[in-house]
Amino acid sequence: MRKKFALSIFFLLTVGIFGQSIKNTVHNLSISGTGSIKATTESEICVFCHTPHNSSPRKPLWNRNDPGSNYTLYNSSTLNANLGQPDGSSILCLSCHDGTIALGNVLSRSTDITFGGGVTTLPTGSKNLSTDLSDDHPISLTYNSALAASDGELKNPSTLTGPVYLEKGKVQCTSCHDPHKNIYNDFLVASRKNSTLCTYCHDKNGWISSTHKTSNKTWNGSGTDPWPNSEYTTVSQNACENCHTPHNAGGHQRLLNYSNEENNCLTCHNGNVASKDIQSELNKSYSHEVSNYSNIHDPNESSLVNNIHVECTDCHNPHYSSNTPANAPFANGFIAGVKGINSDGVSVTNIQYEYELCYRCHADSPNKPGSQTTRAIEQNNVRLEFDLANPSYHPIEGAGANNNVPSLISPYTESSIIYCTDCHASDGAGSPEGPHGSIYPQILKFNYEKADNTPESYQAYELCYQCHDRNQIINSMGKFGKRVHRKHIISEDIPCNACHDAHGISNTQGNFTNNTHLINFDLSIVSPYNGRLEFIDNGNFKGTCYLVCHGERHRPESY
C-alpha cells in the first residue's frame, strides 16, 4: 500500500512540477497510452522512466540502466565545440531512443514489461536515433561565452532565459525537448514555426533580411514535398528547416536534409516553390554542373578555390540571400555574404562586387576552365584580363579604356560598367538571373558564333548586338573610306572572335599600340605574314595589320 501511495505522490509531483501530465502523449507507454507502442498489461505511467525506490544513482529517480554504448558523434568542419560521449539527461533519453535497450527493461521490475505487437526495443524509424549520432544535433556540449565568441553565430548563453535552457552549462536533449509536455509536437519546448526554437541559440549573420526568413512562397504540390515532416506551408514558416533537420539528417555535416548538397536547394528552386526554375537551367547543355561534385565544397575553404568544384553555396549564402537589387559592379542580394577574390588577388570574406565572386574560380585558381580560342596572347586569368590598367578590356571593374565608342546602344555610354552576368547567364526571356545554365557555350546569355566562315546575322552575334548597334558596326566608314567590319564579317564571313578578345588583354602581355580595341588574334584563323602578326593602332580610328587571313596577305593593310 505504501509503495502504491508513494508512486501516486510521485506522479502528482511530476504533474505539478512540469505543469502537464504525459498521460495523453506517446511517452505514456502504459496500457492506457494513446500511441501505437504500449505495454500489454502495465498500468503505471511513470514506471518506464522513474521509480521512487532502488533507482539508478542518476537524477531524477531513474528507473533504467545506462545504454553503455560508444556513440558515433556529430562532426563538422564548422563545429567549434569539443564533443564527448553523451552524459546528463541525454544518456537517459538515449536509453530508449538509441534502440539498444528494451523499452520494458526497468530497474523496478524483475522481468521486462511486455509490449504489444512483439515490440521490445524502439522500432526503426525517425525516433530511433541509433548509436550513430553523427546525423543529429550535437548534445552534451559545453555552451559558454567562449564558445559563442569563437563561433561568431551563437548567442551568448546568458540570453537563454526562455524555455531553452542549459543543463549544468551543457546543451542536452532536454534543452530542446521536455519529455513531459508535447505542446509543440516532438515534445519541443518552443515552436518550430519561423524557427523560433533554433533562434534561441543560433544567430546567423545576414538571416534577419534573408528571403529564406521572409518569403511567403508555398509549395504548388508538384514534385518532391520540400517539407515532408512539417505542418507549416511557407518558406518563412519553415525557415531553418527548409534546408536543415535536427535528427537523422541526410547530409550529416551541418545537418542538411539531403546528402547531395544541391538537392537541399533544388527541392524549392525547381519552380515548385520559388518562382524561378533553377533546376531546368542546370540541366542545359552548358552549366555550372553542381551534380558533378559531392562533399568537396566546405564553408571553411579558402576564398581562392584550389580544388575545382561548384556547388550552389559557392555562389549563394542561403542565410544572407535576398532579392535586393544593385547596380554594376556591386553585388546584389542573391550573392550577398559569399567569399571572393578582389581585383588585387586578395581574399575577401564578404564580396562587395559581383566580379569578386567570379574571380574565386576564374582568376588565380589552378585547373580552371580556359578559353576555347587559341590566341596570339594566351591568358585565362580573368582578373588580369579586366585590369583597369590594361590597353583594352570590357568594363567589368570600371569604365572602359576607350572614351569614344560610337556603336554603343543607349543607355550604354563610354562610362558604363557592366556585370559578368550581362554576358554569362541563363539564356531565354524570363530566365533566372545568373550563370546557371544555357544552350550556348561558356554559359552565354545570347548566341556568339566563333567558328570561321560564319555568315553574319543578328542571331549569329546576338550577344554583341545587345550593346553594340549592328547597323553602326556594319555600315560605319573608317578613316580610309572602308567599311572595315562589313568587309570582314559580311564579305569574308570572319567572326568577331577572330580579331577581338572579349574579356581584355593584360598589360603584362599586351600594350597600347598593338592591343587596343580588344585586338588579340585567333590563331586558328589568322597567321603571321613573314613572321609578323601585328595590329598597330595609329590613333584617331586608324590602324594597320600585318597578317594572313583567308589566304589574303596584309603586308600591311591599313584601315
Question: pLDDT (tens digit, 9 = 90+) per residue, 520-531?
Answer: 999 999 999 999
DSSP 20: S
DSSP helix/strand/coil, 424: strand
- What was the pLDDT predicted at 125? 94
DSSP helix/strand/coil, 348: strand
Residue 341 to residue 352: CA distance in whole angstroms: 10
Instruction: Give the distance, in angstroms, between the CA of residue 78 and the centroid of all CA atoms in the same chain.
Output: 15
Residue 443 to residue 283: CA distance in whole angstroms: 12
Q: How many CB atoms lie within 10 A of CB 182?
A: 17
pLDDT digits (tens, 9 = 90+) for 245-275: 999 999 999 999 999 999 999 999 999 999 9
DSSP 118: G
For the chain, the structural domain boundaries read 213-231+255-365, 370-559
Q: What is the pTM of this model?
A: 0.91
pLDDT digits (tens, 9 = 90+) for 528-551: 999 999 999 999 888 999 999 999
pLDDT digits (tens, 9 = 90+) for 122-175: 999 999 999 999 999 999 999 999 999 999 999 999 999 889 999 999 999 999
Residue 173 to residue 341: CA distance in whole angstroms: 41
Three-class HEC string of 293-345: CCCCCCCCCCCCCCCCCCCHHHHCCCCCCCCCCCCCCECCHHHCCCCEECCCC
Give the rounded percent of residues in the chain with a pLDDT score beyond 90. 90
What tens-digit pLDDT sequence spans the chain (559 residues)? 444 434 444 444 444 444 567 999 999 999 999 999 999 999 999 999 999 998 888 889 999 998 988 999 999 999 999 999 999 999 999 999 999 999 999 999 999 999 999 999 999 999 999 999 999 999 999 999 999 999 999 999 999 988 999 999 999 999 999 999 999 999 999 999 999 999 999 999 999 999 999 999 999 999 999 999 999 999 999 999 999 999 999 999 999 999 999 999 999 999 999 999 999 999 999 999 999 999 999 999 999 999 999 999 999 999 999 999 999 999 999 999 999 999 999 999 999 999 999 999 999 999 888 888 999 999 999 999 999 999 999 999 999 999 999 999 999 999 999 999 999 999 999 999 999 999 999 999 999 999 999 999 999 999 999 999 999 999 876 544 467 899 999 999 999 999 999 999 999 999 999 999 999 999 999 999 999 999 999 998 889 999 999 999 999 998 8
